[in-house]
Structure 1
Amino acid sequence: MTEHPGPEPSPTGAPTAELRAARDFLLATRSDRTRAVAEFSWPRPVDFNWALDWFDVVAAEHPHRPALVITDGRTRLVRSYGDLSRRSDQVAAWLRANGLRRGDRVLVMLGNQVELWEVLLAAMKVGAVVVPASTLLRPADLQDRIDRGRVAFVVARSVDTADFRAVTGTFVRIAVGDPEPGWIEYADSTSMPTRFVPDGPTPAAAPLLEYFTSGTTARPKLVQHSHVSYPIGHLTTMYWIGLQPGDVHLNISSPGWAKHAWSNVFAPWLAGATVLVHSYERFDAAALLRTMDTEGVTTFCAPPTVWRMLLQSDLSVLRTPPRELVAAGEPLNPEVVARTQQAWGRTVRDGFGQTEMTLAVGNSPGQPVRAGSMGRPMPGYRIGLLDVKTGEPAAEGELAVDLRGADGPPVPLMTGYAGDADRTAEATAAGWYRTGDVATVDDDGYLTYVGRADDVFKASDYRISPFELESVLLRSPAVAEAAVVPSPHPTRLAVPKAFVVLADGYRPDAAVAQAIFAHSQRELAPYQRIRRLEFADLPKTISGKIRRVELRERESARSTDDLATGGPGEYRAEDFSGD
């Protein structure tokens, strides 16, 4: 492991040194999971500000190392650690001059642009609370966030300011880009001094981030994180990815969602790596591969949806594949792993986390990967499976995080659901944080995802995991994406129905439907087989997760006659097989 010089003096030198020791231990044990799990312990500072006590220290040590590169294949913007340290000082001083105070909520609605990282670091230095927001949000979503988030400042792109015209509330409006009436110009911040002096220490337990979850099943929750839970907690994400100092890390994620902070801020900058952003308006797999080639990407993370799109292209054009490949956001289908291994000779490693925490379960570098498994618990996490109904330990059950350690809950866990004490208490009852995701565990501790607790269903009294069936469907060359939900049935209670997005070159007709049914019949047990099929775009959250709840509700709302005869565009297995 490369030795690093000692840190520059900081407002709280001891927490910086403690974090460095924990970080360096995980770097040293990246291929020795047994030792990492046995010996790792979380830094638990009383006062801590990651932007001041970590990022600025790294910047003082490596001022010229690239921290951020943004490219669209034609233009290229580079900011070093030193650049961002100085610029975020300047923006912090400017925000404070405009009235931002410690504890104020700042809704940040920016794209993958340098100002996003400047504002995040600056708000952190001030001690404000950042409420990340996607640029895809509509006025009703923004009003909900302004109200429930108690937002005092908004920083948004000039092109998006029109979305706030119907939003009520008293908050300071800052526009990034062209001047907008009634909005303060972000460009004015360049006139401030480049030295920021904090008004005092930042309590480690103070709120830093408040994320509205993507809402796959219900109204978005407001997840609150502290100045340590994500900034220090993403040591596990760094460990899982396999990041090292000097790496070039590319993560495909949209601003406004937790995964963007995971892999475009905290994990790579904890490692002293470079964040590479591939900027695009419309996803183009070939363009992404060219960027990876040109920029020398060493570590790459993408959601399974992007991996499936990449597999539609020619992976061989990438001459030097990244050293580390990981996937997160949704469960990783085994077919993606197999085909990437064939093309690149590299294994895509799955991992599991939530907005409420960091990477908790994963296949870390150098460890045996078992097909279909999302891995084992990360260092610093104690994981159990609990029966969904009784809460007792089970070989198949709800994945839960043990909160009962002698030193308290794991550092990465949220501080709670802001403004909802009842929901927080329910999620953390009896000393466990219950994730709502069901998994199985084998004798060696490998966990395999089954599905969301509210996605799993019964058919003919057999328990059906949609994820398992979807993974099989993806092995059909005709299927690009699939979502499986229960379709009501008069005698079987329900039968599995697949909503399918076809791969390029396939037409949504009876012949293709018959081929997919035949594939299902060959690959699945009789009780698991797809009985209904519909070609359709899949409803998704704006963070890209499939909303199976919407498809389930659509099926449940169908009339009895429609279910008996089949609706428009629906194909049935018995129409082809006499089943």
Structure 2
Amino acid sequence: MSEKGERQVGNDPNTTSMQAYQAFRQARDLLVTHREDYEAARREFAWPEFTEFNWALDWFDRIAAEDHNADRFALWIVEEDGSENRWTFPKLARRSAQVANWLRGLGVRRGDRVILMLGNQVELWETILACIKLGAVIIPASTLLGAADLRDRVERGQARHVVVRDVDTATFAEVPGGYTRIAVGERVDGWESFTDSAAGDPVFTPDGPTRADDPLLLYFTSGTTAKPKLVRHTHVSYPVGHLSTMYWIGLEPGDVHLNISSPGWAKHAWSNVFAPWNAEATVFLYNYGRFDANSLMAQIDRCGVTSFCAPPTVWRMLIQADLSTLRHPPRKVVGAGEPLNPEVIDQVRQAWGVTIRDGFGQTETSVQIANTPGQEVKPGSMGRAVPGFTVVLVDPVTGERAREGEICLDLSSRPAGLMTGYAGDDERTATAFEDGYYHTGDVGAVDDDGYITYVGRTDDVFKSSDYRISPFELESVLLEHEAVAEAAVVPAPDEIRLSVPKAYVVLANGFEPDAATAESILAFARKNLAPYKRIRRLEFADLPKTISGKIRRVELRGKEHTHGDGRPDGEFREEDFPALKNRS
């Protein structure tokens, strides 16, 4: 094996698997050892390099076989009614082998693309591990998606198999294709039943080596163009890349880690799969239907959660409760998705005695910039580049490095935790990787100590709660309504969600800018958009445009910020129309 731990092609599979395990463990252990010594970690850490690597076989199954993990829980799910289940590392290793063998019997082959659309249930983790073992490509999907979104994923994702909850199978009646249909839960006519996987062989033998650069994940993510991007990750870029996420959180063996994120989104894979299991920690889930701060804190106390990650929306709701009721707060707390309000950080510090630490990353990457354990936390800053990442700010006009500019990754020292590109879009991939940098599309400012403060997006995509929203997608739906001639969607400030989608609408001839028209448009949007994309506010107005006729959303965004939390004249809101709640 080379000094960097490269796995040699042609060796005995057991030998190369052990070499891969040892190289990965060496890198992992260094970060755990230096989890509170940023300078040492930056100086000594190097990404392990592989030509072959299968995280489920070479890492997860091997740690599951070690004596110290024999009774350690890999997954712990508590339901809202108080029931709970726990699965050890060995049990999940065995179950995922059964699922892999069963899926192979249904025709799932290396390189096949599998849409995985499940909630926070054990079958999700079993299937993720099984697909990795098989070398199949996972297309994560939120259970909130409608038929149109799923058609796009089947068609552009070239999906050959789908694994979904029984309650969601009806949605696929409107999704044509010759894909294998697998239902989790009750048996459904015309669908294979996941329950039958229990009869699978508990010993899995791969059909060959997994190349490190083989595709593993395809994420559909919002953009400003007509179609969402397909972010392509490999068997290294997320499993190995999330060593950086593990380091940011400060995870170590034996931790019980709670991350609030919905399956189907990249952050779920970050902190509910790869980062905690890289650390040999327990993934903890509290499955609530409606968020309740007191119930959440009660479970954190009862179950001994040591590490907690949540989007700012959840942090803002938590501080509305009495934080002091949590007798044993987690000692590691982080936030990601949006900048955190200093007031939130202060209140949590006063109540729990810990500081929430920001982290910055994307669907396209693992964590790039973060306030890691042991570092000074500067108010408003995201922190510094994490070990293994060389982050620079580039002036978008001159292309030179600058004190304020686009956040970029220097590709002369390419990090493991970076996508290979956008599937089926060579032009967009080339743009993202031009001039020797990976361009994040985000703008930041750096100080003399290397701390980076987030400034904003270079495009129009925005966050609502922890969901990323593309104005183009929402505008396209609005334009299908007969009353809408033109529309522009921008974020409007919101106390809880940080921002909500607001539509500025130009009406077609024959329609009046009144409450009835607003209700009709909002109802139409409610019916045709996933809940997290829903238009919450609407205003009838002319749209500012450039000379070439392009809408100047920057002016509309600025207008919204001048309103602050106030309500402008002529604005209609979803809550103005109680009848909307009774419509599908």
TM-score range for the pair, normalised by the shorter chain length: 0.7 to 0.9
Residue 200 of structure 1: how far off its partner (Å): 1.0
Residues 1:365 and 2:373 are matched in the alignment: yes
Residues 1:356 and 2:364 are matched in the alignment: yes
Pick closer, same or farther for the CA change 1:97–1:312 going to 2, 3 Å: same
Pick closer, same or farther for the CA change 1:566–1:124 going to 2, 3 Å: closer
Q: 1:466-505 deviations in whole A, cap 9, x for unaligned?
A: 99xx9xxxxxxxxxxxx9x9xxxxxxxxxxx98344579x
Residue 332 of structure 1: how far off its partner (Å): 2.0
Residue 278 of structure 1: how far off its partner (Å): 1.1
Which whole-Å CA distance do the structure 1 matches of 2:299 and 2:541 have between them? Answer: 40
Residue in structure 1 matched with residue 200 of structure 2 by the alignment: 192
Contact 1:214 1:543 in 2 (8 A): no
Residue in structure 2 matched with residue 264 of structure 1 by the alignment: 272
1:65 corresponds, among 44, 68, 72, to 72
Number of residues of Structure 1 aligned to a counterpart in Structure 2: 493
Residues 1:499 and 2:492 are matched in the alignment: yes
Residues 1:107 and 2:109 are matched in the alignment: no
Q: 1:512-544 deviations in whole A, cap 9, x for unaligned?
A: xxxxxxxxxxxxxxxxxxxxxxxx9x99x9696
Which whole-Å CA distance do the structure 1 matches of 2:203 and 2:541 have between them? Answer: 56
Residues 1:86 and 2:94 are matched in the alignment: yes
Contact 1:10 1:52 in 2 (8 A): no
Q: Equivalent residues in 2 for 1:275-286 (5 A)?
A: 275-286=283-294
Residue 567 of structure 1: how far off its partner (Å): 3.7
- The one-letter amino acid of 1:63's match is A
Q: 1:415-470 deviations in whole A, cap 9, x for unaligned?
A: 110010110000000110000110000000000001111359xxxxxxxxx99xx9
Contact 1:257 1:543 in 2 (8 A): no
5+ unaligned residues in a row in structure 2: which ranges?
1-12, 472-489, 498-521, 546-550, 560-566, 574-584
Which whole-Å CA distance do the structure 1 matches of 2:400 and 2:437 have between them? Answer: 11
Q: 1:93-127 deviations in whole A, cap 9, x for unaligned?
A: 00001101000000000000000000000010000
Pick closer, same or farther for the CA change 1:241–1:176 going to 2, 3 Å: same
Q: 1:279-336 deviations in whole A, cap 9, x for unaligned?
A: 0111111111111111111000001111111111111110011010000122222222
SS at the partner of 2:412? coil
Which whole-Å CA distance do the structure 1 matches of 2:491 and 2:97 have between them? Answer: 52
Residues 1:27 and 2:29 are matched in the alignment: no
Which whole-Å CA distance do the structure 2 matches of 1:94 and 1:236 have between them? Answer: 33
Q: 1:27-69 deviations in whole A, cap 9, x for unaligned?
A: 1111111111111100111100000000000100122210000
Residue in structure 1 matched with residue 6 of structure 2 by the alignment: none
Residue in structure 2 matched with residue 492 of structure 1 by the alignment: none
Pick closer, same or farther for the CA change 1:498–1:181 going to 2, 3 Å: closer
1:568 corresponds, among 567, 570, 575, to 570
2:432 corresponds, among 427, 452, 458, to 427
Contact 1:50 1:124 in 2 (8 A): yes
- The one-letter amino acid of 1:70's match is I
Which whole-Å CA distance do the structure 1 matches of 2:496 and 2:166 have between them? Answer: 37
Pick closer, same or farther for the CA change 1:544–1:165 going to 2, 3 Å: closer
Residue in structure 2 matched with residue 530 of structure 1 by the alignment: none
Q: Equivalent residues in 2 for 1:203-282 (5 A)?
A: 203-215=211-223, 219-282=227-290
SS at the partner of 1:12? helix
Which whole-Å CA distance do the structure 2 matches of 1:503 and 1:357 have between them? Answer: 27
More moved, 115-124 vs 323-332: 323-332
Pick closer, same or farther for the CA change 1:100–1:350 going to 2, 3 Å: same
Which whole-Å CA distance do the structure 1 matches of 2:443 and 2:453 have between them? Answer: 9
Which whole-Å CA distance do the structure 2 matches of 1:152 and 1:367 have between them? Answer: 46
- The one-letter amino acid of 1:46's match is T
Residue in structure 1 matched with residue 53 of structure 2 by the alignment: 48
SS at the partner of 1:266? helix
5+ unaligned residues in a row in structure 1: which ranges?
1-7, 457-465, 471-482, 486-496, 505-535, 572-579
Which whole-Å CA distance do the structure 1 matches of 2:128 and 2:57 have between them? Answer: 12
More moved, 55-64 vs 111-120: 55-64
Residue in structure 2 matched with residue 164 of structure 1 by the alignment: 172
Which whole-Å CA distance do the structure 1 matches of 2:76 and 2:88 have between them? Answer: 9
Residues 1:556 and 2:520 are matched in the alignment: no
Residue 229 of structure 1: how far off its partner (Å): 0.5
Residues 1:404 and 2:412 are matched in the alignment: yes
Residue 166 of structure 1: how far off its partner (Å): 0.7
Residue 398 of structure 1: how far off its partner (Å): 0.5
Which whole-Å CA distance do the structure 1 matches of 2:214 and 2:435 have between them? Answer: 25
Residue in structure 2 matched with residue 382 of structure 1 by the alignment: 390
Which whole-Å CA distance do the structure 2 matches of 1:166 and 1:543 have between them? Answer: 19
Contact 1:297 1:322 in 2 (8 A): yes
**Structure 1 runs of 4+ with >3 Å offset:** 8-11, 214-219, 497-504, 541-548, 550-559
TM-score, normalised by the number of residues in structure 2: 0.79
TM-score, normalised by the number of residues in structure 1: 0.80
SS at the partner of 1:404? helix
Residue in structure 1 matched with residue 477 of structure 2 by the alignment: none
Which whole-Å CA distance do the structure 2 matches of 1:547 and 1:60 have between them? Answer: 50
Residue in structure 2 matched with residue 121 of structure 1 by the alignment: 129
Which whole-Å CA distance do the structure 2 matches of 1:113 and 1:424 have between them? Answer: 34
Pick closer, same or farther for the CA change 1:289–1:215 going to 2, 3 Å: farther
Which whole-Å CA distance do the structure 1 matches of 2:206 and 2:261 have between them? Answer: 31
Contact 2:116 2:140 in 1 (8 A): yes
Percent sequence identity over matched residues? 56
- The one-letter amino acid of 2:456's match is G
Which whole-Å CA distance do the structure 1 matches of 2:49 and 2:281 have between them? Answer: 24
Which whole-Å CA distance do the structure 2 matches of 1:85 and 1:220 have between them? Answer: 34
Pick closer, same or farther for the CA change 1:42–1:498 going to 2, 3 Å: closer
Contact 1:216 1:546 in 2 (8 A): no
Q: 1:184-239 deviations in whole A, cap 9, x for unaligned?
A: 01111111221111011100000000111144776321000000000000000000
Residue 570 of structure 1: how far off its partner (Å): 8.6
